């Protein structure tokens, strides 16, 4: 694939998105597309969420109660992504709140050790997602599945939005290697995401889109103020925060 490829859509964009955002065994030969494939991030989220939702339905079929169904769904989502988004949330929490200067915050975020802020952020994220999934599946299987899919899709669209809106905070790393997402790709992905939300959740899907947008803007503003831009960790934190916001909005 040529480095100057500017096509909006390529057939290999979906495998590329899956290879970047998951640990699924996907064969990809178009890594040069980089952030130009960001329109496919929501579709990658749909696949990841679909696998987790399928596991939840199997758990229901086996007669497990809603709390254990939520645990199955949450576990499958984490395993399929290699916990990369959870890792980003923990590193972001440690860095954004644990340093006094931009450089020090970036150093903390790169450190593989986890601090108090990171542990607390992970515990709160797991609790929030687990409880909301529990309550959604307790309402009905349809509500649970819709919640999983809409949250997985919207949260990946939010990552692409932050990639387009903010400059890179450092001159290396996974996010930097992908480049800056073109706005056309972000808008295409957003259109796909809104369609999925409306089909699966109806009018409630519009509220989910609204809350996802507000949380994305808030995370992006915090990242710009604290470290001057975005990193792969910030993108992971964005995914986690938006997923929580969407699940809560659908439950409400």
pLDDT of 242 strictly over 90: yes
Contact 18, 33 (CB under 8 A): no
Q: Name the nearest CA neighbour of 31 among 52, 71, 3.
A: 3
Name the 3-class secondary structure at 230.
strand
pTM of the model: 0.95
Asked whether the beta carbons of 46 and 197 are under 8 A apart, the reply is no
pLDDT given for residue 58 in this prediction: 98
How large is the average pLDDT for residues 39-43? 97
pLDDT at position 32, please?
Answer: 81
Average pLDDT value for residue range 26-52: 91
pLDDT band of residue 2 (cuts 50, 70, 90) is very low
Q: Where do the domains of the chain lie?
A: 12-81+132-250
Q: What is the mean pLDDT of residues 225-232?
A: 96
Report the C-alpha gap between 26 and 29 in whole angstroms.
10
Confidence (pLDDT) at 31 = 73
Least confident of 40-44, 82-86, 97-101, 194-198: 97-101
Instruction: Burial-class residue 67 by CB neighbours within 10 Å (0-12, 13-18, 19+).
Output: middle
For the CA atoms of the chain, what is the radius of gyration? 17
- The confidence score (pLDDT) of residue 4 equals 61
Mind listing the pLDDT tens digit for each residue in 48-91?
A: 999 999 999 999 999 999 999 999 999 999 999 999 999 999 99
pLDDT in tens, 149-183: 999 999 999 999 999 999 999 888 777 788 889 99
User: Mean pLDDT across the chain, nearest whole number?
Assistant: 94
Tens-digit pLDDT profile for residues 96-111: 998 889 999 999 999 9
């Amino acid at each position: 694939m040529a480095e100057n490829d500017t096509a909006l859509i390529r057939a290999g964009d979906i495998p590329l998105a899956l290879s970047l955002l998951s640990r699924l065994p996907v064969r990809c030969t178009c890594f040069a597309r980089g952030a130009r494939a960001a329109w496919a991030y929501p579709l990658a989220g749909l696949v990841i969420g679909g696998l987790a939702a399928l596991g939840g339905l199997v758990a229901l079929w086996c007669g497990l109660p809603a709390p254990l169904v939520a645990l199955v769904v949450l576990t499958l989502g984490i395993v399929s992504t290699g916990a990369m988004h959870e890792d980003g949330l923990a590193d972001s929490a440690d860095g954004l709140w644990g340093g006094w200067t931009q450089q020090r915050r970036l150093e903390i975020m790169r450190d593989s050790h986890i601090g108090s802020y990171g542990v607390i952020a992970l515990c709160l994220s797991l609790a929030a997602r687990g409880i909301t999934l529990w309550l959604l599946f307790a309402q009905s299987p349809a509500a649970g599945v819709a919640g999983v899919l809409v949250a997985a899709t919207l949260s990946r669209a939010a990552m692409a939005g932050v990639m387009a809106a903010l400059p890179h905070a450092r001159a290396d790393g996974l996010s930097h290697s992908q480049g800056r997402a073109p706005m056309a790709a972000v808008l295409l992905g957003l259109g796909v995401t809104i369609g999925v939300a409306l089909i699966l959740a109806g009018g409630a899907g519009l509220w989910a889109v609204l809350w996802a947008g507000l949380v994305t803007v808030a995370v992006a503003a915090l990242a710009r103020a604290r470290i001057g831009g975005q990193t792969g960790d910030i993108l992971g934190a964005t995914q986690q925060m938006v997923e929580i916001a969407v699940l809560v909005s659908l439950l409400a």
